[in-house]
Amino acid sequence: MTKTAHPTFWPALLSARDEAPGARTFRFASPERFAFTPGQFLMFHFADDPKTWRAYSLCSSPHAAREYFEVTVGMVGPFSERLGGLAPHAEGGLVVRGPFGKWIYDGSAPHAVLVAGGTGLSPFRAMCLLNGEMGLARKITLCCSAKTPEGLLYRAEYDGWRMNGIDVKEKITQPGAASNWTGEIGRWTAASVFAAANDAAAVYYLCGPNKMVQELRDGLQRIGITPENIRTEKWGDYTELF
């Protein structure tokens, strides 16, 4: 049996922007015939440090993939900070491989419930963009959270997603007196996710820190969601910064 080859490429950084305090979105030029399914990720390393690889999920429109792709990166450690220092159009020595991953959304689930912690929202952006651009009648309920309103990734895009039929629900965990936040406060729990989705037959996608994903998965199963309808992507053993 032949193994599927994952292409390796050296993409040019086209632009970078701050998405939220401590999180930056990078747009790279795509290699020839580049394509991905929302949920997939790429592996990045610097040419002078081939042993240090990091995974970043594709967060841009799959329809734009022939031209460019984007990742949103939390500035949490040495690798992400080096990435954050790259200047558009300069030689950065970045090597990329992929896309990888079977944790995907292709628009076939009648109702997808997407639950993210912090930067875990990034693959869900690609899923929301896919639905909107394909004019899919599929239902998406998006449950996202951040410590502060400013920490909600892609916040300026939510109204556009809502216009495409996506039910975006935000929660803030530490709004602070100065934020004027009038929305929901607190963490997503299995019970609050289930109440927001109101659909025992939906497919539940969970993405973020290990503990958050594990707790939600266990809680959803206790509520009666079947294991095959819970799809998890664990990013590591950390607590959310955003």
Considering only residues 55, 64, 86, 136, which one is a binding residue for ligand FAD as defined by CB under 6 A? Answer: 55
**Could you say whether residue 38 binds ligand FAD (CB under 6 A)?**
no
Q: How far is the CB of 80 from ligand FAD (least distance, A)?
A: 3
Residue 43's alpha-carbon distances to 52, 59, 68, 132, 159, in angstroms, are 10, 14, 16, 27, 31
Considering only residues 38, 74, 92, 151, which one is a binding residue for ligand FAD as defined by CB under 6 A? Answer: 74
Token pair listed for 15: 């632009």
Task: Show the site string, 117-136: x = touches ligand FAD by CB under 6 A, - = not.
Answer: -xx--x--------------
Q: How far is the CB of 81 from ligand FAD (least distance, A)?
A: 6
Considering only residues 80, 131, 141, 145, which one is a binding residue for ligand FAD as defined by CB under 6 A? Answer: 80
**Could you say whether residue 43 binds ligand FAD (CB under 6 A)?**
no
Owner of token pair 């400013």: 150
Query: Can you tell me whether residue 9 is helix, strand or coil?
Result: strand
- Torsion sign over Cα 180, 185, 186, 192: negative
Q: How far is the CB of 70 from ligand FAD (least distance, A)?
A: 10
Nearest alpha-carbon partner for 204 in 108, 87, 111: 111
Residue 40's alpha-carbon distances to 97, 127, 148, in angstroms, are 12, 10, 27
Give the binding site for ligand FAD (CB under 6 A): 41, 54-57, 71-74, 76-80, 118-119, 122, 233, 235-238, 241
